Amino acid sequence: MFFDEMLHFFGQMAAQTGLAQFWWGNVLMIAVGIAMILLAIIKKYEPLLLVGIGFSCIISNVPGSDLVLPGGLFHYAYEGVQLLILPPLIFFGVGAMTDFGPMIANPKLVILGAAAHLGIFVALIGAKLLGFTIYEAGAIGIIGGADGPMAIFMTMKLAPHLLPQISVAAYSYMALMPLIQPPVMKLLTSKRERQIRMKQMRTVSRVERIAFPIVIGIVVNLLLPPVAPLITMLMLGNLFKEVLVTERLAKAAANEVMNVVIVILTIAIGSTMGADKFLTGATIEIVALGLLAFLCGTASGVIGAKIMNLFLEEKINPLLGSAGIASVPIAARVAHVVALQDDPENFLIYHAMGPNLAGVFGTALSGGIMLALLQ
């Protein structure tokens, strides 16, 4: 009798621990979290993001604690995403560390920032064909914009339950762009085209740099109010940087604010990667659609540049088209590296930053139009 009571007591104790809820899915997701951390440390793939996401993914798959439950610490981090506070704050920091000079200096290249976003719509249609709802398809499609905060923003508006898959796919593919883009770029261009050298760009004055965020903030918010939080904070951060009299605010935005927000954002994303939500067929489909979006976006950007060359006297290097994908500055760097392989003195990085930065607006415009049509 005493032995039975002791067994019953220990059984009740065991049932209260996380072990009672632990299943193979948790083991798999813990392995995924560890893999993310290792990729960050060894391969240096987006370490600022993957370490935090990986660790909180691990902890979220250790059942028993109330970290991810309402009232738990991770839950409050998620509230920052759910209430759409964190993505605009990321853009605030991005604006404060971004030099929009290359984009201002060569206005004709901004169209590549939209041309390279065909991948968004290929993924959207593909997702709809696979049976996702139109809202889920819209959120999946925006992976093709290669803009993390925008992907999170759109997902929370359209399909918040897909946040873990979409954010992990978006950030992972951004980190893998040096592997994904070059084969497509080389397939669609000849060596001679890749060797096209761009003319030296003009210097952009301080007056233009200050006017830019003010004018763009007014125009884009007037036309597309749904993306006003993101564009406003992007332009505010940039204005702090460019007016020169608020240097300490610009530095705080680019450093302290950005660092704190990244920590909270990565915890929030990782906290949603519970095995029960992540290990579904939808995850594999979303990962595949994300890759398709990146491949098609790269191709459409390069083709867009080649179409522009049909009308331009002074040809542009078509590799700049692939930089129209918004992943700043990775896509620009990839275009620069691929160009160097065919001409070691062809330095495209500054020119590629133009369409790369325009891609941020391209993603915001595509997302804003999508929200306006769907909501």
Partner 1 sequence: MEKDTVTFAIMLSVIDFFLSMVLISGIGVILWLLPFLNRLGKLDEESMRRGH
Tell the smallest beta-carbon distance from residue 10 to partner 1 (Å): 52
Q: Which residue from 34, 84, 176, 216 is in contact with partner 1, where contact means CB under 8 A?
A: 216
User: At a CB cut-off of 8 Å and minimum separation 6, what does 85 contact?
Assistant: none
Any contact of residue 107 with partner 1 (CB under 8 A)?
yes
Helix (H, G, I), strand (E, B) or coil at 84: coil
Any contact of residue 252 with partner 1 (CB under 8 A)?
no
Any contact of residue 233 with partner 1 (CB under 8 A)?
no
- Residue 161 gets which letter from DSSP? G
Nearer to partner 1, 124 or 185 (CB): 124
CB 242 within 8 A of CB 96: no
Nearest to 203 by CA among 64, 78, 99: 99
Nearer to partner 1, 68 or 154 (CB): 154
What residue type is assigned to position 117 of the chain?
A: H
Tell the smallest beta-carbon distance from residue 316 to partner 1 (Å): 14
CB 324 within 8 A of CB 112: yes
CB 52 within 8 A of CB 263: yes
Which range in 5-13, 43-51, 100-108, 256-264 contacts partner 1 by CB under 8 A? 100-108
C-alpha–C-alpha distance, residues 353 and 90, integer Å = 19
Any contact of residue 239 with partner 1 (CB under 8 A)?
no
C-alpha–C-alpha distance, residues 74 and 268, integer Å = 6
Q: Which helix (H) or strand (E) holds 297?
A: helix 281-311
Which value, in Å, is the radius of gyration of the alpha carbons in the chain?
23
Tell the smallest beta-carbon distance from residue 252 to partner 1 (Å): 14
C-alpha–C-alpha distance, residues 45 and 215, integer Å = 35
Nearer to partner 1, 310 or 373 (CB): 373
Any contact of residue 159 with partner 1 (CB under 8 A)?
no
Helix (H, G, I), strand (E, B) or coil at 66: coil
> Could you say which residues in the range 302-361 bind partner 1, by CB under 8 A?
358, 361
Any contact of residue 113 with partner 1 (CB under 8 A)?
yes
Whether the bond between 160 and the residue before it is cis, its omega within 30 degrees of 0, is no
Map residues 49-78 to x or -, x wherever contact with partner 1 holds by CB under 8 A: ------------------------------
Tell the smallest beta-carbon distance from residue 96 to partner 1 (Å): 16
**Token pair 């007014």 in the structure block, residue:** 218
Nearer to partner 1, 78 or 135 (CB): 135
Any contact of residue 262 with partner 1 (CB under 8 A)?
no
Nearest to 322 by CA among 306, 310, 309, 311: 306
Any contact of residue 256 with partner 1 (CB under 8 A)?
no
The footprint of partner 1 (CB under 8 A) covers 103-104, 107-108, 110-111, 113-115, 117-118, 120-121, 124-125, 128-129, 133-134, 137-138, 141, 205-208, 210-212, 215-216, 219-220, 223-224, 243-248, 358, 361-362, 365-366, 369-370, 373-374
